[in-house]
Structure 1
Amino acid sequence: MPTVTDIDARGTQHCETTTLGLLLRHQGLDLSEPMLFGLGSGLSFIYWDSKNMNFPFLGGRIKPFDLTRNLAGRLRLQLRVQETTSPRKAWDNVTASIDAGHPVGLQLDSYHLDYFGSKVHFGGHVVALYGYDDRSAYLVDTEQQGGAVSISLSSLARARAARGPMTAKHRSFTLIAPATMHAPHGQIIPAITACADAFLDPPIANLGHRGIEKAGGLVRTWLQRTENPQRDLPQAALLMERAGTGGALFRNLYRDFLAECTGLLDSSHLRTGHRLYVEAALLWTEAAALIKEAGEGREARHLAQAGSLMGDLARIEREAMHALRRLESA
């Protein structure tokens, strides 16, 4: 069985950072998951709704794979990405890397992964592949999905071939660290300020702090937005808390990233940002609980409370990002 040896199959909270962590540890660079998320400027917000969607989606991070691109650029890693419309060529790309001793990241639709308990289409899911045989592929996914898992080759092929929102054409990728690595901590300030800039100056009203404020108004109408609130509202809350977000719509991960940074940099702006994200993380978890309650009991008052919390969150996160953006000139 072709397998990459010396794999540290450590499932963590979020799919993309789980995969990046494995690929980088194989290159001799072991960073915490919050540090990977923060150095990739992963935090964001989107309120996403359209006519062809059954229910609105609240997202707490940047687009799938942008985190990988950001991290590779900051750490000066060689990121090799391969895409193709041919399933056979796609599999050849993967096996060539494994046979050469390199684990591979894959972007695919989690709906087709047979070890997933919850069947929801998500074309931006990322896993690491480190081995295969005639019947199965050996992957590392998040801790929630079992960490090191095996999957049938047919299931993996369907997941990689899927088309729809956020999917990629059989995307696979590898990372190679330079012979001399600069200390990753030197990239903390650029990563934080880039994230703050994008959050504070979004191009459309559905993103960043403007998106949170917009969500605060629209969430109050969610009982009228669905024919099945007892299904759709609890599922929205579940996605906020447990769908690879690390809890609190990724705010727990960013809070922990900022906490780690305060041990490396002496900055009052950084400490302010961290304090505010401690508060924001708690409020996002509270908002998710209210949305769940609103769906289960069909009670609009819980949505009104959740909307008020999101208004507070727009202000708190805006204040936090203004403080963090000041790191650039400190």
Structure 2
Amino acid sequence: MAKVEGIDVRGMQHCETTALGVLLRHEGLDLSEPMLFGLGSGLSFIYWDSKGMGFPFLGGRVKPFELTRNLSAALGLELLVEETASPRKAWQNVAAPIVAGRPVGLQLDSYHLDYFSTKVHFGGHVVAMYGYDEQDAYLVDTEPQGGAVSTSLAGLARARAERGPMTARHRTFTITVPGNVTSPQDRIIPAIKTCADAFLNPPIANLGHRGIEKTARQVPKWLQRSENPREDLSRTADLMERAGTGGALFRNLYRDFLAECAQQIDNSHLRTGHRLYAEAATLWTQVAALVATAGESGHAPHLMEAGTILHGLSRIERDAMQALSML
């Protein structure tokens, strides 16, 4: 049995920022969740559909673990990442830091975690682990999942070993904050510009503002696209508004990040970006509600309206990112 003492087990809205918060607070660096998300250049958009998928996926952030790498690079943090195919080595990679008094981050498939009430495979889930005994692992997950939680060691092992989309091979990570850590305020503008550049110049039409425009064209067809519209559309709306996004497909988090930045930096482009993302966040919540209603009712006009709003969102977010790119 081993447990790291003095862990601040605050759960946040999103899994990766929750784990980062636990690890960084233990190192003496306490940043808000929007600041963690924004400094990690976390906002993005993807419309993902392929023949093997039952229904399209809408994503509002960069791919799993990229936020952690971005944040570590931005602040000059020492990020140690380990992956292995060996379950025995995988356990050593978790146990050693905890015995040494340090929490550790894990990427795994949430399907196998005992405390998850909704059993859906998601291999990009991230938690912080701070202890274990003969039977259970002690984790910090998002506030909606319970914050400080526990799961069986057997379930944890299955979650870490799972293969499939977005999974990693028993990935663990620890973070050290150096004595000369870069001031977060000094990295705000570079992080915003990095995010804006990626959003404005996507390599394929499924990403960034082009991806939102593509979604606007596809959403009105979703009742025909789905074999079970009630289930598929309800799940999609739930993923947009809940499921660790902080609401509005991560736009609430980015809006709040820009608001926090605007309190520290007096800049008209920043204020414009914040105003437009406040507008976008409200509209994304409306889109999620329309998708859910279409799933319940089977009525296509709700999806037509969602498509119209999405056309506007593509323009609003493009304008916001163009303003922010001029910082």
Matched residue, 2:120: 120
Paired letter, 1:221: K
Matched residue, 2:183: 183
1:124-273 alignment runs, 5 A limit: 124-273=124-273
| Structure 1 segments unaligned to the other structure (5+ residues) | none
- Distance in 1, matches of 2:282 and 2:299, equals 22
Paired letter, 1:180: N
1:49-88 alignment runs, 5 A limit: 49-88=49-88
Matched residue, 2:99: 99
Matched residue, 1:316: 316
- Distance in 1, matches of 2:268 and 2:212, equals 26
- Distance in 2, matches of 1:84 and 1:220, equals 43
- Distance in 2, matches of 1:120 and 1:55, equals 14
Matched residue, 1:274: 274
1:196 Cα deviation after fit: 0.1
SS where residue 91 of structure 2 aligns? helix
1:180 Cα deviation after fit: 2.0
SS where residue 41 of structure 1 aligns? coil
- Distance in 2, matches of 1:210 and 1:227, equals 27
1:16 Cα deviation after fit: 0.1
The RMSD of aligned alpha carbons is: 0.5
Deviations 1:201-251 (A, max 9, x none): 000000000000000000110000111101110110000000100000000
- Distance in 2, matches of 1:130 and 1:324, equals 38
SS where residue 263 of structure 1 aligns? helix
SS where residue 47 of structure 1 aligns? strand
Correspondence 1:33 to 2:33: yes
- Distance in 2, matches of 1:198 and 1:35, equals 19
- Bigger CA drift: 58-67 or 177-186? 177-186
Give the TM-score normalised by the residue count of structure 1: 0.99
Matched residue, 1:286: 286
Matched residue, 1:19: 19
1:275 Cα deviation after fit: 0.1
Paired letter, 1:129: M
Deviations 1:72-130 (A, max 9, x none): 00010000000000111100111001011110000000111111011111100000000
- Distance in 1, matches of 2:226 and 2:281, equals 27
- Distance in 1, matches of 2:179 and 2:32, equals 21
- Distance in 1, matches of 2:47 and 2:262, equals 30
Paired letter, 1:165: P
Paired letter, 1:45: F
- Distance in 1, matches of 2:119 and 2:209, equals 31
1:181 Cα deviation after fit: 2.1
Paired letter, 2:100: A
- Distance in 1, matches of 2:56 and 2:73, equals 32
- Distance in 1, matches of 2:136 and 2:122, equals 22
SS where residue 326 of structure 1 aligns? coil
1:183 Cα deviation after fit: 1.3
Between the two proteins, what is the percent identity of the paired residues?
71
- Count of residue correspondences: 327
Correspondence 1:295 to 2:287: no
Paired letter, 2:70: N
